[in-house]
């Protein structure tokens, strides 16, 4: 008989070459609520703490399936991670969503491809010299959730289709 689980492990390759697993479980929810409060939302946490909160959230999701904390300490982890690297944020968001979108899919939304000044955009326009490329549509027109606005709270239940109001249920004791 195959064991099934609602928890989708999300692998993340750390700069030290080790792949570690992020798991958003009831235990992770409890640890996040204990650390940040039961009114935690990812959007609010990012606004109040900036991207520096991402390694701590990842660390809280790295406990194994027996509830054992990771061998890598949070300070060790923070010291090996480069600043402003969206790959860990993408892995954390994917874990929050139980893998409904892969970290690669999320990273692609956060880091859209750009045109360089020597390339001609597909719409035939000439480049304005900006390395950011021409804007095709505004962020508000996009159907994809963006990197910093997903609300993952510990007091409500996640929906099947993650949106800006996606939340996470807190465990009952």
* Of 20 and 153, more confident: 20
Query: How many domains does the structure of the chain reveal?
Result: 1
Instruction: Report the pLDDT value the prediction gives residue 159, as an integer from 0 to 100.
Output: 41
pLDDT surpassing 70 at residue 61: yes
pTM: 0.65
Residue 125 lies in a domain: no
The residue segments making up the domain with residue 62 are: 8-111+145-173
| Burial class of residue 132 (count of CB atoms within 10 Å of its CB; 0-12, 13-18, 19+) | exposed
Residue 133 lies in a domain: no
Phi first, then psi: give them for residue 4, nearest 5 degrees: -110, 150
| Burial class of residue 43 (count of CB atoms within 10 Å of its CB; 0-12, 13-18, 19+) | middle
* Of 79 and 135, more confident: 79
Q: What is the mean pLDDT of the chain?
A: 75
Residues in the chain: 173
Query: 83 falls in which pLDDT band (50, 70, 90)?
Result: confident
Residue 76 lies in a domain: yes
Question: Is residue 95 within 8 Å of residue 31, measured between CB atoms?
Answer: no
Residue 129 lies in a domain: no
Instruction: Report the pLDDT value the prediction gives residue 134, as an integer from 0 to 100.
Output: 47
Instruction: Report the pLDDT value the prediction gives residue 73, as an integer from 0 to 100.
Output: 97
Residue 154 lies in a domain: yes
**Of the given ranges (32-36, 123-127, 165-169), which has the lowest mean pLDDT?**
165-169
Average pLDDT over residues 68-72: 96
Instruction: Please give the share of the chain, as a percent, with pLDDT higher than 90.
Output: 46
């Amino acid at each position: 008989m195959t064991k099934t689980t609602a928890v989708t492990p999300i692998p993340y390759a750390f700069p030290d070459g080790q792949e570690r697993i992020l798991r958003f479980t009831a235990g992770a929810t409890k640890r996040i609520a204990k650390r940040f409060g039961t009114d935690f939302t990812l959007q609010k946490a990012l606004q109040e703490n900036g991207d520096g909160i991402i390694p701590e959230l990842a660390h809280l999701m790295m406990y194994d399936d027996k509830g054992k904390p990771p061998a890598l300490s949070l300070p060790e982890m923070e010291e090996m991670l480069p600043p402003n690297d969206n790959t860990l944020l993408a892995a954390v968001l994917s874990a929050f969503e139980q893998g409904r979108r892969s970290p690669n899919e999320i990273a692609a939304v956060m880091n859209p491809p750009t045109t360089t000044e020597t390339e001609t955009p597909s719409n035939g326009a000439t480049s304005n010299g900006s390395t950011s490329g021409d804007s095709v549509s505004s962020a508000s027109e996009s159907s994809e959730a963006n990197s910093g606005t997903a609300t993952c709270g510990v007091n409500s239940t996640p929906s099947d289709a993650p949106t800006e109001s996606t939340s996470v249920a807190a465990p009952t004791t």
